[in-house]
A and B are shown apart, each in its own frame.
Chain A
C-alpha cells in the first residue's frame, strides 16, 4: 500500500515540490512517510517506427528506423509484433532498465542498433508472464507525442510514499484525505474529483427496495448502473491500483477499488440481475451459513452483519461477497452499495473469519457520511466514463447518521498555554483554513467546526490545539520545566523495601536477574511455599507460558543450570518480583525475593584459598539482610519439615519474624540438583508488615568486660540454639555476648555425644564487675545447662 504522488496531484498540485522535502513536511505534521521511492527511468521516450525491414542475417529480427523526436535511430528489434507505423517505448543509450541493465549502442549480428524497443514487463511495470511476453513490445496510442518521456505519457513516472500512520489517521492511506494533509502543510486547496454523470429516465426506487433491520448500520446507499461493458481498465487505473498493491481485474471491479483508494470508502458491487429487487440488511442468525466468493462455506453468528435479498444471504457486510451475487464477465447491470457499518462488528467478523481486506480494514474505522455519499456518485461517474454505464436516477438511502456538527471553542490563550509556544492569531487562522476547518473569531475565541471527513477529531479544544500545533511545528516549542512547587521525590514504602533488599544483595555479591512471570503447568507447582490458588491465563499463546508463577525459584534454578552448562560454576543470583494467586473474590499480589548460591564464594586459584558455599553461608546472608532491615533479635531460623519437597529435609531453616513465617532457605534436595546449591525465598511483602525503627546510638561500655569459656558435652541431637537460649536466659542482663567457638565429636567423647564450646562475655555499662559475682553467674549458667540438657562439663 503506497500513496501515488501523481494521483495526489489530481487533487492538489505537488509537481512543483521536491518529493523528499514534501515527505519531510508531511512527516513533521504527524503523517509519517516511511519511504519515498521513484520509478522514474531516464532516456525512455516515445518513438515512431518509420520503417521496419527483416534483418539480413536472421529469420526473426527486424531492423527499424525509429523517429525519437530529435533524431531517427536504427534499432534492431526481435518482437513478433514490431511493424512500421507503431508508436512505441524506446530506451535510448544510457537508459538503465530494471536489473541494472544499461542500454548501449551495439551491433546485433553485424547490424548497428542504437537503443531498444520495450515491453512494459521489461520496464518492471508489468509482470513477466507468457501472456505479456507473447504480446511483444507495448503498442502505444497512435497519437502519442513522439520524443516525449514515455513513463510520463503513460502516467507511470511517479513518486510513491509508503506511510506508517498513527492508528487514528489511517484515513491518510487514501488519496483524498492525504491530499488534505498536503494542502494543509503547503497552504494550498483541494480540488474534489468529479462526481457528475447523466441520469437515465428510470428511478432507482422502482428497481430496488431497501430494508435495514439492524442498528449496526448507520448509513446504507444503493444506486444502479445499467448496461455496463466489462473490459480492461484504462492504463491509469490499472497502474494506480498496482501501486496500491491491488490486482487489476476488469474496469468495473477496478472502479470500486479505485474509488475506495480515493475516499477511503469501500464500495460493494452486486450483479443486479442476480440479486433481484429487494435488499434486506440484518444480523446473521445463529448457525446461518454463506458460501463466499472464494467458494468457502462460512459459519455465521449473531454478531455478523448480513446483506440478503430477503431470503438468501448475498454478502457478509464489509468483509466478503457471496459466491453468486458478484460481478462476472457477463454482468450487465450493477447494484452499487456504499455503506457505513458498526466498525466493531466488521472488525469482529473479519478477524473471526480470517478475512481482513483493504475494505474491511477501512470499515473497521469510523467513516465520513459525506464521503460515503460522494464515493457512490464518484463510482457512477467513472462507470459512465470507463464502462459505458447508464446511471439510474436517484439513490436509495438508509440514514441514521448523527449529523450534529462538531463545534469547538478555543481561545488563543488556551492554544498558547497548552502548546507552550506563541502561535500568532494569523498563523492559527492560516492553519485552520489550510486544514479546511471553518471558524469564527469573536472575543478572542475561535469557534471551529470540524469537517465530517475528520472522524478522528473529538469535539474538545485539545484536539484543535493538537491540529494547530502539529501543522505549526513542534520544533518551535521551547523546552521549559513546570513552574510548580518544589518537593522531594520519594519511593513508596513497598518500592523502598525492594530497593533496599536489592542493593544489599548486590553488595553481598549477588547478580540481579529478571525472568518471565508466565510459566508452565509443570513449573507452577514447584517450590510451593505458602502458595494460593494458581492463576491460569484465559487464552495463553503457549502452554509453557500459561500460568502466573508464585515462586521465583524455578526460573532461578533454570538460570543456574544454564550457567553450569556454560561452565560457570560460581553462581550467585537473585530476583525480586511480584507473584499472584487467586482468592475468593480478588487476585492477591505479593512481592518475593529469591536468591541462589552455589560454587565458591571467595577463592584464589594460586594459593588454594577456597571458601565454598555452605548452609552457614546462606544463613549468614539471611541474617545479614534481616539485621540490615532492623529486625535483629526478632527473627528465628529453625529446621522445618513443612518446606517444599525440593528442599533438603535436614539442611534447611524456616524464617519467622515475630513468630510469623515469611520464608525459608536451605540446600536443594538431591532429587532436584546433584550439586551443592543453596536457595532462599522470602515473601518481602510479609517482611514489610513487621515495622522496624531507626538506628538509636548506644554509647559503648567504658567498664571492662570479663570473658569465660565453657564446653558442654551433650547428646548429639540437641540443637546448639536450644543451649544458647538457656545460657542466655540464665545469664540475664550482664551476659552480653555468647559465641560458639568449637564443636567437637570424636574419640575423646562418647560417640552419641558432642561437645559445644562457648565463649561468654559479661559486662555492665554502669560499673566494673567483680570476679566473684561473674563466677556466681557463670556457675549458675553451667548448673542450669547441665540440668536441662543432661550435659556435663568437658575438661581438657
Chain B
C-alpha cells in the first residue's frame, strides 16, 4: 500500500515536469512535491506505518524519488534560465551598422613622419639626434665649412642675414655638425644626425620654399670609406622607398666634402624603365653626401691624418613629396586642411 503511493507519485511527477515552461511554475511544482506539505515530503510521515522489515526499503525508495525530482528540477531550471537570458539578449538587439563613436587620433606632420623614420633607423645604427640653432653664426654656417667670405655659394642673394655678416638664418643644417665637432675637441668620435629647419632666399613656388627642412648626418671616426657611406645610404633608401631599391652615387661638388656625391635611388614608380617621376632616367636624386673635407675637419679641430668620416644630407620635403606623392612644397607649410592632416593618422610602414 505504501509502495503504491510511491508508485503513484513517481508517475505524476513525470507528467508534471512535462508541461512547465516558466521558472515560476517550476518553483510552484517544487513546493507541491518538496515543500513542507509536499507530496514527497509527506511520504516521510508514512514511515511509522511501514512494517519494520520494510522500513529500510521504503526509505530508499523515498530518497530515490527525491533524487529524481531534484535532478529533473535542476535540469529544467537551467534550461529555463538560459531561455530567459536568450530572450533578454534578443530584446537587447541594436543596429550594429550605425556609425561608431570614434575617438579621433592626431597625426604627425608628413615632414615629422619622414624625420621619425630616419631617426629610428639611424638611432639603431648608433647615431644621436641633435638639434642646433636656426639663428646661427656665419662662422658655423659657412666659414668653418670651407665656404670662406666671398664664396659664391654663400651669396647674400641666397641667405637671410640678420646682423651685418655675422649672424644669419642658417641656410643648411651643417652648422650643427660644426658645433658637434668643436664640442668633440678633436678627440671624440662622432655619429649624429641633425634634422631641422633651414632658410634660403627663394621665392615660394611649387618646388621652392624660403623655409625648408634638412636632415644631415655626420660620422667621424677612423678608416671610414666611401663604401661605408654607400652602405649607409642603401639602408636609408631601402627603409624609405622599399627593399628592392637600388642605389647609385654620382660625382658631385660640395665645399665641405671631398669626394662629393649625389645619392640616387632607382625609380620606385617605374623600377628604372623611365617615367615622369624620374624624368625618364630611371633614377631619382634624393640627397647629397661625401667624405668630410679634411679642410673642414681641420677647421673644427680634428686632425685629418688620424680622423676621417662622411656626411650626408637630405631635403626632407623632397623625400616626403616623393614618398607620399605630394606635388607642391607649399603643402607642408600653408593651408593645412584638417582633412589632409587626417590622412596622415596612419602607421608608417
Chain A residues in 8 Å Cβ range of B134: 517, 578, 580, 589
Given A469-B251, A482-B232, A518-B211, are A419 and B336 neighbors across the interface (CB < 8 Å)? no
Question: Is there contact, CB below 8 Å, between B162 and A587?
Answer: yes
A200 to chain B minimum Cβ distance, whole angstroms, is 42
Question: Is there contact, CB below 8 Å, between B106 and A511?
Answer: yes
Question: Is there contact, CB below 8 Å, between A492 and B107?
Answer: no
Residue of A nearest to B308 (CB): A418
Question: Is there contact, CB below 8 Å, between A514 and B111?
Answer: yes
Chain B residues in 8 Å Cβ range of A490: 123, 128-129
Chain B residues in 8 Å Cβ range of A779: none
B186 to chain A minimum Cβ distance, whole angstroms, is 17
Question: Is there contact, CB below 8 Å, between A513 and B336?
Answer: yes
Question: Is there contact, CB below 8 Å, between A495 and B131?
Answer: yes
Name, among A479, A490, A535, the residue most crowded by chain B CB atoms within 10 Å (CB to CB): A479
Chain B residues in 8 Å Cβ range of A587: 133, 135, 162, 167
Interface membership of chain B positions 103-146, coded 1 if the CB is closer than 8 angstroms to chain A and 0 otherwise: 11111110110000001001111111111011100000000000
Contact residue among B219, B227, B235, B248 (Cβ-Cβ distance under 8 Å from A419):
B227
Chain A residues in 8 Å Cβ range of B341: 511-513
Bound-state Cα–Cα, A81 to B344, Å: 72
User: Does A139 touch B at the CB level, under 8 Å?
Assistant: no
The stretch from B56-64, B78-86, B252-260, B269-277 touching chain A is B252-260
Bound-state Cα–Cα, A562 to B128, Å: 38
Contact residue among A470, A481, A571, A578 (Cβ-Cβ distance under 8 Å from B231):
A481
Contact residue among B153, B167, B248 (Cβ-Cβ distance under 8 Å from A475):
B248
Within 8 A of B (CB), among A449-475: 456, 458, 460, 462-463, 465-466, 469-470, 474-475
Question: Is there contact, CB below 8 Å, between A562 and B252?
Answer: no
A573 to chain B minimum Cβ distance, whole angstroms, is 7
A314 to chain B minimum Cβ distance, whole angstroms, is 26
The stretch from B2-10, B22-30, B327-335 touching chain A is B327-335
Given A30-B252, A535-B135, A609-B101, are A466 and B127 neighbors across the interface (CB < 8 Å)? no
Contact residue among A28, A364, A563 (Cβ-Cβ distance under 8 Å from B337):
A563
User: Does B55 touch A at the CB level, under 8 Å?
Assistant: no
Question: Is there contact, CB below 8 Å, between A477 and B226?
Answer: yes
Contact residue among A417, A568, A589, A602 (Cβ-Cβ distance under 8 Å from B338):
A568
Question: Is there contact, CB below 8 Å, between A479 and B247?
Answer: yes
Within 8 A of A (CB), among B218-251: 219, 221-235, 247-251
Name, among B112, B130, B250, B336, the residue most crowded by chain A CB atoms within 10 Å (CB to CB): B336
Chain A residues in 8 Å Cβ range of B210: 516, 518, 541, 545
Chain B residues in 8 Å Cβ range of A505: 106
Chain A residues in 8 Å Cβ range of B109: 511-514
The B interface is mostly helix, strand or loop, or mixed, namely mixed
User: Does A167 touch B at the CB level, under 8 Å?
Assistant: yes
Chain B residues in 8 Å Cβ range of A484: 126, 189, 191, 221-222, 224
Chain A residues in 8 Å Cβ range of B213: 514
Question: Is there contact, CB below 8 Å, between A515 and B249?
Answer: no
User: Does B284 touch A at the CB level, under 8 Å?
Assistant: no
B84 to chain A minimum Cβ distance, whole angstroms, is 29
Question: Is there contact, CB below 8 Å, between B334 and A515?
Answer: yes
User: Does B185 touch A at the CB level, under 8 Å?
Assistant: no
Given A477-B227, A512-B106, A512-B108, are A27 and B250 neighbors across the interface (CB < 8 Å)? yes
Question: Is there contact, CB below 8 Å, between A605 and B99?
Answer: yes
User: Does B203 touch A at the CB level, under 8 Å?
Assistant: yes
Bound-state Cα–Cα, A563 to B199, Å: 27
Question: Is there contact, CB below 8 Å, between A489 and B125?
Answer: yes
Question: Is there contact, CB below 8 Å, between B251 and A474?
Answer: yes
Question: Is there contact, CB below 8 Å, between B106 and A419?
Answer: no
Given A465-B259, A482-B219, are A491 and B231 neighbors across the interface (CB < 8 Å)? no
Question: Is there contact, CB below 8 Å, between A418 and B291?
Answer: yes
User: Does B201 touch A at the CB level, under 8 Å?
Assistant: yes
User: Does B293 touch A at the CB level, under 8 Å?
Assistant: yes
User: Does B197 touch A at the CB level, under 8 Å?
Assistant: yes
Residue of B nearest to A514 (CB): B109
B147 to chain A minimum Cβ distance, whole angstroms, is 11
Bound-state Cα–Cα, A32 to B234, Å: 23
Interface membership of chain A positions 610-626, coded 1 if the CB is closer than 8 angstroms to chain B and 0 otherwise: 00000000000000000
Chain A residues in 8 Å Cβ range of B235: 481
Question: Is there contact, CB below 8 Å, between B250 and A30?
Answer: yes
Question: Is there contact, CB below 8 Å, between B99 and A604?
Answer: yes
Given A466-B259, A514-B332, A541-B201, are A509 and B106 neighbors across the interface (CB < 8 Å)? yes
Chain A residues in 8 Å Cβ range of B337: 562-563, 566, 568
A524 to chain B minimum Cβ distance, whole angstroms, is 14
Given A466-B258, A517-B197, are A489 and B163 neighbors across the interface (CB < 8 Å)? no
A388 to chain B minimum Cβ distance, whole angstroms, is 41
Chain B residues in 8 Å Cβ range of A562: 335-337
Chain B residues in 8 Å Cβ range of A604: 99-102
Given A419-B225, A478-B227, A573-B336, are A344 and B150 neighbors across the interface (CB < 8 Å)? yes
Contact residue among B226, B247, B253, B291 (Cβ-Cβ distance under 8 Å from A169):
B253
Bound-state Cα–Cα, A417 to B308, Å: 11
User: Does A328 touch B at the CB level, under 8 Å?
Assistant: no
Chain B residues in 8 Å Cβ range of A573: 336
User: Does B70 touch A at the CB level, under 8 Å?
Assistant: no
Bound-state Cα–Cα, A566 to B341, Å: 14
Question: Is there contact, CB below 8 Å, between B247 and A491?
Answer: no
Residue of A nearest to B134 (CB): A578
Question: Is there contact, CB below 8 Å, between A466 and B334?
Answer: no
Within 8 A of B (CB), among A591-611: 602-607, 609
Within 8 A of A (CB), among B42-67: none
Question: Is there contact, CB below 8 Å, between A502 and B108?
Answer: yes
Residue of B nearest to A34 (CB): B279
User: Does B156 touch A at the CB level, under 8 Å?
Assistant: yes
User: Does A696 touch B at the CB level, under 8 Å?
Assistant: no
User: Does B261 touch A at the CB level, under 8 Å?
Assistant: yes
A98 to chain B minimum Cβ distance, whole angstroms, is 24
Interface membership of chain A positions 15-53, coded 1 if the CB is closer than 8 angstroms to chain B and 0 otherwise: 000000000000111101000000000000000000000
User: Does A720 touch B at the CB level, under 8 Å?
Assistant: no
B293 to chain A minimum Cβ distance, whole angstroms, is 7
Chain B residues in 8 Å Cβ range of A609: 101
User: Does B1 touch A at the CB level, under 8 Å?
Assistant: no
User: Does A635 touch B at the CB level, under 8 Å?
Assistant: no
Given A474-B248, A479-B247, A489-B122, are A537 and B162 neighbors across the interface (CB < 8 Å)? yes
User: Does A347 touch B at the CB level, under 8 Å?
Assistant: yes
User: Does B306 touch A at the CB level, under 8 Å?
Assistant: no
Within 8 A of A (CB), among B292-349: 293-295, 308, 332-339, 341-342, 344-345
Question: Is there contact, CB below 8 Å, between A512 and B112?
Answer: yes
User: Does B152 touch A at the CB level, under 8 Å?
Assistant: yes
Given A475-B248, A489-B123, A602-B103, are A168 and B253 neighbors across the interface (CB < 8 Å)? yes
Bound-state Cα–Cα, A572 to B341, Å: 10
User: Does A166 touch B at the CB level, under 8 Å?
Assistant: yes
User: Does B72 touch A at the CB level, under 8 Å?
Assistant: no
Chain B residues in 8 Å Cβ range of A29: 251
B204 to chain A minimum Cβ distance, whole angstroms, is 9
Bound-state Cα–Cα, A505 to B104, Å: 12
User: Does B160 touch A at the CB level, under 8 Å?
Assistant: yes
Question: Is there contact, CB below 8 Å, between B152 and A167?
Answer: yes
**A residues whose Cβ falls under 8 Å from a Cβ of B:** 27-30, 32, 166-169, 344, 347, 351, 364, 417-421, 456, 458, 460, 462-463, 465-466, 469-470, 474-475, 477-492, 494-495, 502, 505-518, 535, 537-541, 545, 548, 559, 562-563, 566, 568, 570-574, 577-578, 580, 587, 589, 602-607, 609
29 contacts between A and B (CB under 8 A): A29-B251, A418-B291, A419-B227, A420-B226, A460-B295, A462-B293, A466-B260, A469-B226, A469-B259, A474-B248, A478-B230, A479-B231, A482-B231, A484-B191, A512-B108, A512-B112, A516-B211, A517-B134, A535-B135, A562-B337, A563-B336, A566-B339, A572-B106, A587-B135, A589-B133, A604-B100, A605-B99, A607-B101, A609-B101
A-B pairs, 6 with minimum CB distance? A420-B227, A30-B251, A420-B225, A489-B123, A466-B259, A166-B253
